[in-house]
Structure 1
């Protein structure tokens, strides 16, 4: 899995498989949320999203008032 960020856009390629992957995503989002209230996430080709990542995104939206736009590019997901 690789993560790139530019401005308020986070792009993730590869599969999100492990807790380590989720922690890496959370760390990147933590950096972005200090600068932006709107974050766009592109999942390019992951075949799954872990429940811990879904929970983290829900927390950002519901408790921290961060607007998340999630674009999933894998039609099977």
Structure 2
């Protein structure tokens, strides 16, 4: 039987929440300069965790663009609320 819960929706934008961060995972939202943004500011979702790939097979340029300073840059636009 599937468990059904209402997914959190931001009342201001109507955006559906991605949920809470999994165990052993760090996530943050950063601006164009790579600096972490305050809650509710929109930027890029980046993450790091032990299970993140170490690179793309034979694609050093893509690896360098995606994995920077230990963080995987998703390319996804996101913001973080006060609950993470």
TM over 0.5: no
Taking structure 2 as the reference length, the TM-score comes to 0.22
Taking structure 1 as the reference length, the TM-score comes to 0.23
Give the number of the structure whose alpha-carbon radius of gyration is greater. Answer: 2
Higher relative contact order (CA 8 A, sep 6+): 1
Structure 1 or 2: larger helix share? 1
